[in-house]
Chain A
Amino acid sequence: MRFQGASLTYGELERRSNQLAHLLHDQGIGRRDRVGVFLDKSLETPLAIYGIMKAGAAYVPLDPRSPISRLVDIIQDCGIRGIVSQDNKARVLGETGVQQDILQFVVGVSQDADIGVRTYAWAALDALPAENAPGVYIIDQDLAYIMYTSGSTGKPKGIMHTHFSGMSYAQMSADTYDVQHSDRLSNHSPLHFDMSTFDYLTGPLRGATTVIIPEAFTLFPANLAQLIEDERLTIWYSVPFALIQLIERGVMEKRDFTSLRWILYGGEPFPTAYLRTLMERLPGARISNVYGPAEVNQCTFYHLPPVSEWDESMENVPLGRVWDNAEGLILDHQDQEVAPGAIGELVVRTPTMMRGYWNRSEMNRRAFYRREVFPDYHDVYYRTGDLVRLDEQGRLQFLGRKDHQIKIRGYRVELAEVDAALTRHEAVEEGSAYVVNRDAGDVICAAITLKAGKTVSEGDLIDFLKSKLVHYAVPQTIRILESFPRTSTGKVDRKALQQQANAAAPLHERSE
């Protein structure tokens, strides 16, 4: 593992994570426990996730950028008893107010940080056994990690992955991309985003090097280009946005990217014009479209043919095919398989599939499709919510979402969650978010109606939303309407709403 020029060898990772596992074990952490990882990008991140898993617990990534209210939601939702963190997070942890009744200790902050729970500095690990992990027996159906994602009710939901599903993903992705000891992977994604499992599980499975990219580098394409060259990366994996920025800012031309042999992208579609430029600039690299909701890690791949072989189907790059030891079906509204070539929802059965959502029984009933083999015995498929069709060449084509879930720079956002946050403001009667397509990616905008006699400025409302939502879900503009257009079923007509909102004056002009 590498970070800003510093290295952590696998030997060091092994010993240090053993020590962390002993510390957690001594705190009473074991199977059926959850431990949070609340860290900036750093070499402590792999230590934390392996230490937690070795103690028998599941790791739960906590986004260092999320509002405190969301942190509290997650800590309470899955009952996080311990957190691995760092000194600059002590103040925020102190403000969560979850000390004692749920959270009992924090590792990685200095002993004098007064946050109301037991704290252990990293130096506290030094005296603990390094050669072996504590004798905890883990079965493959125990939870390895829980990833929280946007939920339509306004509360995040936790996707539970077991050692079996995580390990299956590591094996299958390592095979698909022939990851080797000599490979150098990019960790571009933050830990709470499911792409990080490739960087932190698949890489180590084959003893490859994972280069953890500092968050600031993701904002500066020129620095990112330099890092790819300096670190001689061989496998890149990110959302398209990062690569589009490299192309748009013109920072690739002077750099030597010949070390790259695979470029994997996922999370959202890659605009074809940029993809073409990328392939032309990097003739030695193969490009693969990776598809799969976080609930299944990954389930399809499509290795792009050379640009010379592209036809019109590449305007909307196919998802490709379901990987080898998985099965996909395309279902209609009655859960019947559609005729070949017809549109339906993709459902998949794969060893990389989640166990379910943490403590969401109703959601779990709806998340899976159970096909009866005989009474009380079912094959279980995850309903992706994505509409697809199989083309003449046997490739899955993505056609859109069944619901109002969207992607912003690869992050899932439920528009309903943004709506719910809008209406929590005292002046807002109704709120509805929608997506505006821009060349370099989509942005979220919103419209509201006001309660009688109330008013709010756009800036104040956006500030309010920043305290309720993850940063990428906060709308860029908010417009005010007299009333919302509705469909015949009484639902807000988001398309008509968008047109009306575009015609309305900006909120800040109205309020002045």
Chain B
Amino acid sequence: MNSHERLKTFIETRLLSGSKETALGFNDDLLLSGLINSLDVMRLVTFTAEEFKIEIPPEDVVIENFQSIDAIVNYVHSRQ
């Protein structure tokens, strides 16, 4: 699986398990309408750091880097 797919699988199965949303697009806004909560953000950050073996300093945990799967992949590439 490529980076996009790994993130998509994690978000769909671990964070959105209860929602009836249709398939998540890579550019979809994850932060709209309360799709995920603050605990989910922490899980997503931890997963991203472990899965891609990068360190994520607190100042990088910002909307711009975690708004969509595309944004996370771009951020991961910038850290690798």
Q: Which 10 A-B pairs have the closest CB atoms?
A: A216-B31, A466-B18, A65-B34, A463-B18, A249-B58, A222-B62, A219-B41, A219-B38, A250-B58, A223-B63
CB contacts (< 8 Å) of A216 on chain B: these are 31-32, 63, 67
Task: Known contacts A459-B17, A462-B18, A466-B18; decide if A219 and B37 are in contact (CB<8 Å).
Answer: yes
**A217's closest neighbor in chain B, by CB?**
B63
Kindly identify, within residues 53 to 72 of chain B, every residue whose CB is under 8 Å from any CB belonging to chain A.
Answer: 58-63, 66-67
- CB pair B63 A215 closer than 8 Å: no
Q: Return the contact of A220 from the options B19, B34, B37, B41 (Cβ within 8 A).
A: B41
- CB pair A249 B31 closer than 8 Å: no
**How many chain B residues touch the partner (CB < 8 A)?**
19
Kindly identify, within residues 25 to 47 of chain B, every residue whose CB is under 8 Å from any CB belonging to chain A.
Answer: 31-34, 36-38, 41
- CB pair B62 A65 closer than 8 Å: no
Say how far B38's CB is from chain A's closest CB, in angstroms.
5
CB contacts (< 8 Å) of B41 on chain A: these are 219-220
17 A-B contacts, Cβ less than 8 Å apart? A64-B33, A65-B34, A216-B63, A219-B31, A220-B63, A220-B66, A221-B61, A223-B63, A245-B38, A249-B58, A251-B58, A462-B18, A463-B18, A467-B18, A471-B34, A471-B37, A474-B18
Q: Return the contact of A251 from the options B18, B36, B59, B63 (Cβ within 8 A).
A: B59
Q: Return the contact of A40 from the options B33, B36, B60 (Cβ within 8 A).
A: B33
CB contacts (< 8 Å) of B67 on chain A: these are 216
- CB pair A249 B33 closer than 8 Å: no
CB contacts (< 8 Å) of A459 on chain B: these are 17
CB contacts (< 8 Å) of B19 on chain A: these are 466
CA distance A474 to B34 in the complex (A): 15
CA distance A251 to B61 in the complex (A): 10
- Judge whether A9 is part of the interface by a CB distance below 8 angstroms: no
Say how far A321's CB is from chain B's closest CB, in angstroms.
33
Say how far B21's CB is from chain A's closest CB, in angstroms.
11
CA distance A88 to B33 in the complex (A): 9
**B59's closest neighbor in chain A, by CB?**
A222
CA distance A65 to B32 in the complex (A): 10
Say how far B69's CB is from chain A's closest CB, in angstroms.
16
**A242's closest neighbor in chain B, by CB?**
B38
